[in-house]
Every structure is written in structure tokens, then in C-alpha cells.
Structure 1
Amino acid sequence: MPPLSADQPLREDDAEFIWLLAECRQLGASVVGMERVLRVFGQSVRRCVDTMRDLFRGEVEEPMLNAGLSYHHLFEVAATKRLALQRIGFRMLFLLQRRMLEEAVFDNIVGRLQDALREHGLEPGDEDSLPAVAFADLSGFTGLTHEIGDVSAAEKAARFEAIAQRLSCAFDGRIVKPLGDGVMMLFPDAASAVQASLSLVEQSRLDELPPVRVGVATGQVVPRDGDIFGRTVNLAARVSAVAGPSQTLVCLNTRAAAEAAARGLAFQGLGAVSLKGFKDSVPLFAAQRAAAG
């Protein structure tokens, strides 16, 4: 928001924004908490808006200019389409947010009920279904940008993210955040993470993308502001950094949990590997599809 001054009156929507902040404070939200929420809102909405702008430029304006339309006529003709696409975009964002919020509220209520039951000894804790984190990225992406150019490389990264989005959802996971030429994904258990990772490597190869490397770790994570933190996250990132092209590496906990929960997986021991930030060497295993029969 712009700084207040005598020669710059407060906009009506800015005033409403301030009133909404005050209402949140009255409902018990702290200043620190609201700062966190607004920071995430700002970052997420900025990406949405930038994507909408890029879509409009690439799908509406550029074809008109390539067809010989002058900039003067472009502004006139594109105005109607711009308003219509803005309306559609705003509505899509609202519908997606409402659906995701419904799922998040339901998940939170179920989690609280399970905690209450466990606290009274009515439901045992399930230690065998710890979440799993997977980091995946395109091998040699920096060299690829020099080879085919930034635009073409960015298109391949976008295709990779789309594949990761589809496959993570197919195995009950989700992308926590994109990382340029990679993604960080969260899954409910180790078996789902390994299956999704192997599928991601295979599908990316079929789509003629650069080889994908993946690192998977299993354990508790700390959710915060739509992101996740903790030793498990750090371990998965370090494991992915030492993975080779078209390779899925997992830690010991991941191998044990995945073998116990799913068939069709095989793991090759690679020995203990020294990872940056970890005092002791970490046993790693290369995951692969089990041979038929």
C-alpha cells in the first residue's frame, strides 16, 4: 500500500483493506500473525496476477500485433477482452480458494478430533504413516538454457511443473512450492512419494524433457504459511542434490516404509553418503520398479 500523505488521498479499496485488518484483530488475530498471512497472500497473488498478464500478452496481444494491428487499435480492441478475462480470472481464483479452504478446514477438524481421541486413549498414534517429502528437478538445466535459450528452457520447466502437479495429485500428494526448474512435493506416506517420483522420472522422459533427479525423505514436517520445514525437508533436499540423472534416491526410513506398504518397488543400497549439513553419513537407496515375476 502507498504511504499516506496530504496530496495522496486514501483509495476506497485501501480503506476497506484497513477495515478488514482491524476486523481480523478484533477476532483475535495478532499483528505478527496478520503479517505472515499478508506476506503469503501478496506473494501468491503476485504470481497469479503475473501469470494472468503473461497469458493476455501471449494469447491476445501478440497474435494481434503479429497480424499487423497497430498499437492504437490494439488498445481499443483488447480492452473488452481484457475486462472479460479479468472477470473470469477473479472468479476462478475465488472458486479455487473456496474449494481449497473447504478441504483445509475439514482436514483441520479431522486432525483436531484425532488429537482429542488420542489424548483420551481412544485412538492409537499411527507411526507407520509419516509424511514424505520429495525434491525433484531437471538435470543440467543451467546448461540447457545456454543451449536452447531462456524462453525454450522456461517452457520445458513449465511442462515439468505441470507433470509434477498431475502426478503428485494422482498419488494423494501436492506440490508445496515450485523451484524454477524443480518442485518440492509432500505426500501422506513413503510409498506414495516413491511411486509418484518414479512416475515423474518416467513421464518426463516420455515428454522429452531433460532427465529428472529426485530425493525422498520420510518423517515429521513443520507446516507454516503454506510451506513446510524441518529435518525431513532438509534431508530430502540434500538427497536430491546427490541423485544422478533419471535417478530416485531415498533415505533408510523411506525405503523401510515403502517396502512395508507397497509392492512393485525395489531398492538398491548405495552405502552411507556424506550430505552437507548432516554430521553423520546417511544410508541411501536407489528406488526402481521391481522386475515382473
Structure 2
Amino acid sequence: MSEHPADETLPHRLERILLGGTRRYTRLEVAEQAGVSQDRTRQLWRALGFASVGDDEVVFTEADIEAVRITDRLVDTGLLDRDLETSVARAVGLHMSRLAEWQSQLLWSLIADNPDLAEDEQRIGELVERLLPELERVHDFVWRRHLAAYAGRALAEPEETLEAASEVVGFVDMVGYTRMARRVDEAELSGLLERFEELATGYVAEHHGRVVKMIGDEVLFVCPSAVRAAEIALSLSEHAAADERVPEVRAGLAAGRVLSRFGDVYGSVVNLASRLTSLARPGTVLVDAALADVLAEHGDYDLRRLRPVPVRGYQRLRPATLRRAGTREVTAHDDVPGGRSPSAP
């Protein structure tokens, strides 16, 4: 006999499918059965991005108990530092919540676009029950492929500390996005963002970089190669200029030691790349002095050093414009942030 009632409502059925079982346990019971402290389960739950629950609320399943046990085993084996346990949980929660939100919207859009399906709760439940294992397989595949790529890099560059490696950091943002967002409807705005994300992620992947995050109208990426980072920025700029569906973009690149922490990047190099982007004119790419020195050795690029510019955090920032060799040289007014004339190279 099935443990699930025949008259089970759709919300309860979906919840059972998605949670991998029915809610049976309180937080205190999870801690007891998993063999961990109550404070630790509370910290992990909040770090994952879920609201606090009362000690007597029955909200957890067998899967929750097993997840806590797995985490505890990872700590015991030394793979996961106990001091970083909460930080890791927070990073996983942030990334997975965004993925879950998007997939939920995708699912309900599918249901809304199919009136016959929307009126049949039995079919909706069957659809979710059928699709969930497929989504899990895709998640697992993509995760393993990315893990293999990063593991390969670690083995190829054993002298580098992965948490603080030398990389190029790049920002590319759409010019005039804020004004455009006020003029167009939601469908047009969604299409614009989709096109920009498609271009950005495509060029970054093609040149072996990594998208750190999309920030509305802007992409933040890192790349271990100066030349490949230059190609990402220039290709995006060129494509945006030729594509009527997206506005022009501007970019800033800086090279140096970068702290990578739970998928995000930090440090002065990140700040410098951001400042350069804010200085760049539409359709241009600005690079810092260190990166300009490296790229100047390649015959494929033209670098033009500009007059030092004071910006927040940098009193004498001297950027350089990056162009492909042989492209038309712009005027001094167009070439320099704020319209100032460039100094001699």
C-alpha cells in the first residue's frame, strides 16, 4: 500500500518529489540522528540561505539528515576545513538558489504555455517527477566537466596557489543600459540581457576564461592568459558594435594577483579593472600599465598610453587603450577618458 494518500494535493506532491520525501523531523531531531550539535545544524541551515525554523517545527526529511552526515564526513576526512564549513555552505546556497529560481520560472512558464497541462494536476506532478532526475544528471555532468577543467589547471601549474593566482580580470558592460531599461518593456529587456549573456559567456568560454558573475548589464570574468583576455574584451566590443540587438560596450582589464574565494574574486586588481571600465569610452577597451607591457610585445595589438587620470583609490592611474593592430586610430578627444589629451607614449 502506498504511503502517499490518493487525494494528495499538487503542492504537497511537488514538495515531496522535490525534497526527496515527506517532512518528518524537527531541527533537533536532525541534529540527534546525524550526530552533530544543534548549533552546527542551525548555522548550516542559515548559511544555505533558508529561514530559521523553530525547534518544534517539523520541516526536515531523511535527505536533510543524510546531507548533514555527508558534510560531517567531509570534515572528518580532512577534505573540508571545519572553520570553512559555514562559508562553503553559504557559497553553495547562493549559487544553487539562483539556479533553482531560474529553473522554477522555466517550469512554470512551460505549464502556463500549455493550458491542457495547467488544468491537470496529475500530469504536472508526473512531469516534475520525470524531469527532476534528468536535471540532476545535467547538473552532475556540468559539475564534473568544470571540476575536471580546474583540476587540470591545478596539475599543470602546481607552483600557483589557486586561491591567489596571477590572472587577468576583466569587466565588460553595456553603455546606456540604464536609460534603455526605462524605455523598453520587460520582454525586450529580457531579450537584451539574454543576448548579452550569450555573447559574454560564449566569448569567455571560447578563450578559456571563466565568468565570475553577470551583474545585470555587466560581466566580470577572469583569464590566466593576457592575450586570451584581450581577445575576450575586443571580440565582445567588436560584436556589440556590429549587433543591432545590443548597445555598445566598454571594457577594462587589469592583471596581477587575484584572491579567489568560493567562486568570486577579490583584491586590488579587481578594483582596478572596475575603475578602468568606468573610464572607458563606448566601444573601447582600457588596460592597466602592467597588462599593456605584456600585450605590447604581441604584434596583433596596438597600445596607446594615456595621460595619468586620478580616480578613487588611484591618484595616478595611467591606462592604455587596446586595439587590434592596423585599426583606425581615434582622435585624442575620443581616445582619452574625459576628453583629455594623451601624453606621449
TM-score tier after normalising by the smaller chain length: 0.7 to 0.9
* Count of paired positions: 273
What residue is the counterpart of 1:124 in the other structure? none
Aligned to 2:324: 289
Q: Which of the residues 53, 61, 64 maps onto 1:14?
A: 64
CA distance in 1 between counterparts of 2:269 and 2:59 reads: 49
Shift of 1:3: 3.2
In structure 2, runs of 5+ residues without a counterpart are 1-44, 46-51, 328-345
Cα distance in 1 between the residues matched to 2:242 and 2:124: 38
Amino acid at match of 1:215: G
Q: CA deviation at 1:217?
A: 0.7
The 3-state SS of whatever aligns with 2:53 is coil
Residues 24, 206 of structure 1: alpha-carbon distance in 2 compared, 3 angstrom cutoff: same
Q: Does 1:106 align with 2:106?
A: no
Match in the other structure for 1:52: 103
Higher mean alpha-carbon deviation, 235-244 vs 25-34, is at 25-34
Residue 267 of structure 1 deviates from its aligned partner by 2.2
Where 2:113 maps in the other structure, the secondary structure is helix
The Cα offsets for residues 67-97 of structure 1, whole Å up to 9 and x where unpaired, read as xx48433x34333333333222111001111
Is 1:165–2:211 an aligned residue pair?
no
- The alignment partner of 2:319 has SS state of strand
Query: Contact 1:157–1:182 at 8 Å: present in 2 too?
Result: no
2: distance between equivalents of 1:196 and 1:9? Answer: 47
| 1:104–1:189 distance in 2 versus 1, CA, 3 Å | closer
Contact 1:191 1:259 in 2 (8 A): no
CA distance in 2, matches of 1:96, 1:71: 31
Query: Counterpart in 1 of 2:272?
Result: 235
Please say if residues 189 and 218 of structure 1, whose CA atoms lie closer than 8 Å, have aligned partners that are also in contact: no
Show the counterpart of 2:189: 153
User: The residue matched to 1:45 in structure 2 has which SS?
Assistant: helix
1:70 & 1:3 partners in 2: Cα distance?
A: 35
1:92 aligns with 2:138: yes
SS at match of 2:114: helix
1:134–1:185 CA contact under 8 A, matched in 2: yes
Runs of 4+ aligned residues of structure 1 deviating over 6 Å after TM superposition are: none
SS in 1 for 2:323: strand
Matched position secondary structure for 1:236: helix
- Identity over the aligned pairs, expressed in percent? 24
Cα distance in structure 2, aligned partners of 1:44 and 1:210: 28
Which residue identity is paired with 2:307? G
Gaps of 5+ in 1: 117-128
Cα distance, 1:138–1:263 mapped onto 2, change above 3 Å: same
Where in structure 2 are the equivalents of 1:70-81 lying within 5 Å? Answer: 71-73=118-120, 75-81=121-127
1:252 counterpart = 2:289: yes
CA distance in 1, matches of 2:57, 2:167: 54
Find the aligned partners of 1:214 and 1:156 in 2 and give their Cα distance: 18
**CA distance in 2 between partners of 1:95 and 1:71 (Å):** 31
Of 109, 113, 118, which aligns to 1:63?
Answer: 113
Larger RCO of the pair (alpha carbons < 8 Å, separation 6+): 1
Q: Residue 130 of structure 1 contacts residue 189 of structure 1 at CA under 8 Å; is this kept in 2?
A: no
- Which residue of the partner structure matches residue 88 of structure 2? 37
Contact persistence 1:132–1:217 (CA under 8 A): yes
After superposing the two structures, state which structure 1 stretch, 44-53 or 21-30, moved more. 21-30
Deviations 1:220-265 (A, max 9, x none): 11111111111111100111011121111111111111121x3221
**Paired letter, 2:262:** D
| Cα pair 1:175 1:183 within 8 Å, conserved | yes
How far residue 9 of structure 1 moved from its aligned partner, in angstroms, is: 6.2
Q: 1:210 corresponds to which residue?
A: 247
Residues 9 and 179 of structure 1, relative CA distance in 2, 3 Å threshold: closer
User: What's the offset of the Cα at 1:26?
Assistant: 0.9
Deviations 1:186-245 (A, max 9, x none): 111222211210100111233320111101111111111111111111100111011121
Aligned position for 1:268: 304
Quick check: 147-156 or 219-228, which moved more?
147-156
SS where residue 214 of structure 1 aligns? strand
Q: Larger radius of gyration, structure 1 or 2? A: 2
Distance 1:10 1:62, change over 3 A: closer
Distance 1:263 1:62, change over 3 A: farther
TM-score, structure 2 length as denominator? Answer: 0.73
